[in-house]
Amino acid sequence: MSRYIATRAIRGANALVGEAEVMLERALVEKGPDTPIAFPNTAYYLPVIFGMMGKEVEHLGELSEILDHARSLLHPTPSQEHWTPYLGETLDSGMATLIAAEAIEAIRYVYGLQPESKPGFESAGGTSFTSPDMNGGDGQSPNGHLNGAIDDIQLRSWGIQLVDGRMPGFAAIVGCAKSNEAAVQIVRELQRRNILCFLSGNVNGRSIIDQLDEEGVELGYDTYTVPFGTDTISAIYALGFATRSALTFGGLKGGQAREILNYNKDRVFAFVLALGEVDDLKYAAAAGAINFGFPVIADTVIPQILPTGVTTYEHVVSMPWNEIAGANDSEKAEQLVQKCIEVRGVKIQVADVPVPVPYGSAFEGEVVRKADMRAEFGGRDSRCFEYLKMVKLDEVTDGKIEVVGPDLSAIEDQGSMDMGILIEVAGRQMEPDFEPVLERQIHYFVNGASGIQHIGQRDITWIRVSNKAAAAGFDLEDFGKILHARLHSDFGAIVDKVQVTIVTDPDQVEARLEEARAAYDFRNTRLADLTDDAVDEFYSCTLCQSFAPNHVCVVSPERLGLCGAYNWLDCKASFSINPTGPNQPIKVGRVIDPVRGYWEGTNDYAKAGSHGVVEELAMYSIMENPMTACGCFECIMMLIPEANGVMIVSREDTSMTPAGMTFSTLAGMAGGGIQTPGVMGVGKYYLISPKFISSDGGFKRVVWMSSNLKDSMSEELKVVAERAGDTQLIDRIADERSVTTVEELLPWLEENNHPALTMDSIL
């Protein structure tokens, strides 16, 4: 601390704890102590309070004890002279601030004051938006209000990106930038580096949220910019997110405060960016954030705290906007963001993609609405496909990008055109099996461009180019530039040369589509042949060990990683790219039990990889030594003994399940690298694998599944049903539309003749 910061932070902390006490007192009178309090869709109660104190606060009345603790952490401000030390005292006061802030937001949820209302605001994905079920039913729309707390669903879906480094960390931006232009540039710089931006606070009533909104920047989950609220108190959601990262992925329990804080210091690369004048409360909240190891960077003159220790590097850095070298706001923003990254010690690789629009993963989720669209390829009115093939080194010219046929200018406004994207790659380490692995990346690569929307794959690709992107000069050859740059930067170890041909000439499209389809068929057949028995190596995936230190995925051809992001071929390619990386081949070795899926190699690996936590691993069973999970699983499976089967809950499903728990609560049991028979986190494509819990009876054991799985995977599930010899099988499986309790489940299954009821006991 500095004495100045200590004084202001401690003063702010005292004020906020007082404010929380007054609010609570009033709420207890007006609403009563038994009034439930909760943040939406989280299994972690009020997460900071749960993490730091181990208290499962569910009712208003329980907050009294919490605020008593916050008060006990407060201290008097340091004297003007002859002061006693203040660093520890300020950090404690900061923690008191966080506890009080979370209590205040919880009370505001009771009063319907959170999420904060903002008439006319349109969200690019938010807490209520991630659940399809919440959109209509209760009248909550993602629009017209700011985001409030982040739900567990979003936390988990960002999980894999946070752990694999695609999302290096988050910036808790508090306040208001010097100008709208500066606000936009700062956020763009962060987005370009795929750093999640949490927005909150204001300076004299103006918030960065207002600034960005005015400038038409899309704010929401999909664009990595989450508008929490326009006061400083809402910045608590950032620390709730951080706390839950440790609980979700670190296998830590509520109350392990020191471990949770150190986890954040060591593994969560977050920082606070204080824009504009810093007031008492911001200093107080910043002191709270420093407990997490998150440094503070300000764009104004504030006292600096440069010695290190509580944070990894400097604690507080002042970088007055006027003094930043740079010809314009854009250059200054870049410098500022660079400094933030340096202070937090974030490692970031940015592929330089030479296109005329901003580029970064943060733009992957952008939606191009019909009204904002310049042109589209694919969809209802045209055809679009993409095909990546391996060729010999001398058959390709690296960097050659050719557009065969008319370009964007030939299309009328909001019109469409047929297009094929053909990529030829060559490399000494390249294998034909990697073609689909690389091809699948086209979706992410193309989406990274701001104003471009990419959906689907192969011959169901659908691409939209926005007016804004077109106005900035984006044209068809830019697809080629993106793919060339990204394939080199991400897959440079296996790809030496990349050539892209964009085909819009109708005859050419027809001819090339034929060729591509033949290749798709060939690959499908190859994939069908690619069974666990057909290979002698599986792959480990320890990508999540940076977050879940004892968890290890074993990925086989017929069982992909639980995050859904890595299948066997991905792992194989990843190993080729980085032979000492997180995906290592596991020689399966001697078969111990082919039914349950035990091999000597997998067992040995599980033991070593989990640091002895897991002794044995059954690849095909949920009941016996099941695979552990980190926290970023797409689905959770859980035994329902009464029904002699299992249920499958998807990450997007927030409704109640027959197990009496929602996904969020179940996730607490499934994550953290713990082996729990009867509970397993899985990738959704494992459901359609012939090896899906094959030793427990396979897919016929599924008695309940989230309806969105049934809907989104209907084609694939049809195949599974046929394989099981019962075309009606999917209809015999209950979902949340029909059944939400185990009492309702049994009669429903009987009524629908579910096969599990007559199968051998699963236990």
Partner 1 sequence: MVDEKTRTPRNKRRTPEESSIDPAAIEMLTRADLMGIGTAFSRADGLAPCNIGAVGMCCSLCAMGPCRLTKDGITGVCGATIDTVQSRNFIRSVAAGSAAHSDHGRDMAFTLKAVANGEAEGYRIQDIAKLRNIAAEYDIPIKDRAPEEIANELADLYIAQFGQQRGALAPIRRAPEKRRKLWEELGVIPRGVDREVVEALHRTHMGDDQETEHLMHHAVRTALADGWGGSMIATDVSDILFGTPAPVLGEANLGVLKDDMVNVVVHGHEPTLSQMVVAASQDPEIIAYAKAAGAEGISLSGICCTANEILMRQGIPAAGNFLQQELAILTGAVEAMVVDVQCIMQALVTLAERFHTKIITTSPKVRIKDATHVEFDERHALTIAKDILKTAIDNYENRGEIQIPDYKNSLVPGFSHEYINYMLGGSYRASFRPLNDAIMSGRIRGVAAIVGCTNPRIQHDSHHTAITEALLKQDVLVVETGCSAIASAKLGFLLGDAALDRVGPGLREVCETIGIPPVLHMGSCVDNTRILTVLTQMVAEGGLGDDIDQLPAVGLAPEWMSEKALSIATYCVASGAYVMMGGYNPVEGRGDKVPDSVLVSAHISDGWEEMYGARLEFLDDPQEMIRRTLNHIDAKRAALGLPEYDPTQFGHSGDARFNEMEEAIGEAPLEERRAALYGQVPTI
Work out whether 4 is an interface residue with partner 1 (CB under 8 A). Answer: yes
Work out whether 178 is an interface residue with partner 1 (CB under 8 A). Answer: yes
Our CB check for partner 1 shows the closer of 267 and 484 to be: 267
How far is the CA of 146 from the CAs of 299, 573, 711, in angstroms? Answer: 25, 41, 30
The site string for partner 1 over 25-54 (x = CB under 8 A, - otherwise) reads: ---------------------------x--
Work out whether 90 is an interface residue with partner 1 (CB under 8 A). Answer: yes
Taking the C-alpha atoms of residue 277 and residue 275, their distance in angstroms, rounded to an integer, is 7
Q: Which of 36, 76, 88, 473 binds partner 1 (CB under 8 A)?
A: 88
Residues 6+ apart with CB under 8 A from 501: 401, 402, 403, 404, 421, 422, 423, 424, 480
Torsions phi, psi of 42, nearest 5? -135, 145
Tokens of 675: 């082996």
Site for partner 1 in 288-317 (CB under 8 A): 291, 299-310, 315
Site for partner 1 in 360-399 (CB under 8 A): none
Contact, 316 vs 302, CB < 8 A? yes
Our CB check for partner 1 shows the closer of 87 and 396 to be: 87
Our CB check for partner 1 shows the closer of 277 and 331 to be: 277
The DSSP call for residue 314 is: -
Taking the C-alpha atoms of residue 557 and residue 294, their distance in angstroms, rounded to an integer, is 41
Q: CA torsion sign, 582 to 223 to 714 to 438?
A: negative
Amino acid at 427: G
How far is the CA of 439 from the CAs of 86, 279, 287, in angstroms? Answer: 57, 50, 46
Work out whether 322 is an interface residue with partner 1 (CB under 8 A). Answer: yes
Our CB check for partner 1 shows the closer of 322 and 761 to be: 322
How far is the CA of 152 from the CAs of 43, 139, 449, in angstroms? Answer: 7, 21, 27
Taking the C-alpha atoms of residue 668 and residue 523, their distance in angstroms, rounded to an integer, is 38
Q: How far, rounded to the nearest angstrom, does the alpha carbon of residue 135 sit from its chain's CA centroid?
A: 20
Site for partner 1 in 259-278 (CB under 8 A): 261-262, 276-277
| Min CB(10)–partner 1 separation in Å | 11
| Residues binding partner 1: number (CB under 8 A) | 49
Residue 734, strand partner residues: 704
Q: Which of 21, 92, 116, 366 binds partner 1 (CB under 8 A)?
A: 92
Our CB check for partner 1 shows the closer of 79 and 714 to be: 79
| Min CB(73)–partner 1 separation in Å | 7
Taking the C-alpha atoms of residue 695 and residue 698, their distance in angstroms, rounded to an integer, is 7
Residue in the block written with tokens 């907050």: 63
Our CB check for partner 1 shows the closer of 11 and 178 to be: 178
Residue in the block written with tokens 């990925």: 555
Work out whether 342 is an interface residue with partner 1 (CB under 8 A). Answer: no
Q: Which stretch binds partner 1 (CB under 8 A): 90-98, 371-379, 685-693, 747-755?
A: 90-98
Q: Which stretch binds partner 1 (CB under 8 A): 16-24, 28-36, 84-92, 502-510?
A: 84-92
Work out whether 1 is an interface residue with partner 1 (CB under 8 A). Answer: yes
Work out whether 3 is an interface residue with partner 1 (CB under 8 A). Answer: yes
Our CB check for partner 1 shows the closer of 85 and 354 to be: 85
Our CB check for partner 1 shows the closer of 315 and 497 to be: 315
Q: Which stretch binds partner 1 (CB under 8 A): 254-262, 398-406, 503-511, 593-601?
A: 254-262
Residue 355, strand partner residues: none
| Min CB(304)–partner 1 separation in Å | 5
For the CA atoms of 392, 394, 395, 400, the dihedral, rounded to the nearest 10 degrees, stands at 120
How far is the CA of 307 from the CAs of 145, 168, 313, 343, 380, in angstroms? Answer: 40, 24, 8, 12, 60
Residues 6+ apart with CB under 8 A from 483: 421, 423, 442, 445, 446, 498, 500
Work out whether 91 is an interface residue with partner 1 (CB under 8 A). Answer: yes
Our CB check for partner 1 shows the closer of 304 and 338 to be: 304
For the CA atoms of 512, 518, 524, 527, the dihedral, rounded to the nearest 10 degrees, stands at -90
Our CB check for partner 1 shows the closer of 89 and 696 to be: 89
Binding site residues, partner 1, CB under 8 A = 1-4, 6, 52, 73, 78-79, 81-92, 94-95, 178, 257-258, 261-262, 276-277, 291, 299-310, 315, 318, 320-323
